[in-house]
Structure 1
Amino acid sequence: MSLTRWTRLLMVVSAVGFAGAAYAIRAMMDGPIEQYSGAALSAAIVYTLVVFIWPLISSLLAGTAAIAYCWFIEFAQLTPIPGAISQRSWFARQLLGAQFDLIDVAWYPVGVIPLVAAHWFLRARTRSDSAPALTS
């Protein structure tokens, strides 16, 4: 199996795991932990989607795209459009949210930065493993 296919498979498994964790936390907890973990885990899902779409993307660019998307969606909630769409569909509510929360803006990077670091580390390790050994 090619590296691109493995990457995409890993991103699907990761996204499902992050979604499962978010819904499990939501089912068992209430309050700030539920809210903040939900923001961080939703940003992690966005990161996995970015890497799924562009498997060869750099970790920094993927992280920047994921955080920018999350911030765009969050600030769009200052308008009535996401809230109106979210009232009509559970799925839309999961994607767009319903109301702006400035704290979420800070929590999106918390969900993405560890993935950027892991992605960068794995990519660097893969490159060093595939580099020819120097002999004297």
Structure 2
Amino acid sequence: MSRLLVLSAAALTVAVGLGVRALFDGPVSKYAGDALYTVLLYTLVLLILPRVRPWVAAGTAAGASWLIELAQLGEIPAVLRPLLGSTFNPPDLFWYAVGAAAAWAAHTLWLRRTG
């Protein structure tokens, strides 16, 4: 997968996230944002390791998201709160898995169509 394509997917993920926040309030915006956060992490994994298998990228992205969420059980430094959040919310863990699964599925389908 080309890095330009992955960068485009990352930019699209950010645009969709901003669009969801602009159009929706409440749980739709929050949980879509959680899923898209993990999709963005998935694209970052692909940028670093372009030949990574989809299931490894999904596990890495979900694991990083869960680790960040669990870190919120402690004290996140104020400067990092806009990026990492500050309040642990158990349902977020599910939505991170949804984002990882969606990215895995899209990546797998892409590889099947192009390979």
- Judge same fold: TM > 0.5, yes or no: yes
In structure 2, what is the Cα distance between the partners aligned to 1:94 and 1:21?
19
Q: 1:122 to 1:29 in 2, by over 3 A?
A: closer
Tell me the percent identity: 37
Q: Which runs of 5+ in 1 are unaligned?
A: 128-136
1:38-77 matches, within 5 Å, as: 38-77=33-72
The equivalent of 1:134 in structure 2 is: none
The two structures have a TM-score, normalised by structure 1, of 0.77
Within the candidate set 71, 75, 81, 1:93 is matched to 81
In structure 2, what is the Cα distance between the partners aligned to 1:38 and 1:45?
10
In structure 2, what is the Cα distance between the partners aligned to 1:94 and 1:14?
22
1:46 partner amino acid: L
The SS at the match of 2:86 is coil
1:122 partner amino acid: W
2:24 partner amino acid: M
Aligned residues: 115
The equivalent of 1:79 in structure 2 is: 74
Within the candidate set 22, 31, 36, 2:31 is matched to 36
Post-superposition offset of 1:101: 0.7
- Asked if 1:9 is matched to 2:7, the reply is no
- Asked if 1:22 is matched to 2:22, the reply is no
1:36 partner amino acid: Y
In structure 2, what is the Cα distance between the partners aligned to 1:74 and 1:16?
23
2:89 partner amino acid: D
The equivalent of 2:102 in structure 1 is: 114
In structure 1, what is the Cα distance between the partners aligned to 2:74 and 2:55?
30
Q: State the Cα deviation string for residues 10-53 of structure 1 (Å, max 9, x = none).
A: 11111111112112221222110011001000010000000111
The SS at the match of 1:57 is coil
In structure 1, what is the Cα distance between the partners aligned to 2:42 and 2:82?
16
Q: Which runs of 5+ in 2 are unaligned?
A: none
Q: 1:94 to 1:56 in 2, by over 3 A?
A: farther
Post-superposition offset of 1:125: 3.9
Q: 1:114 to 1:60 in 2, by over 3 A?
A: same
1:116 partner amino acid: W
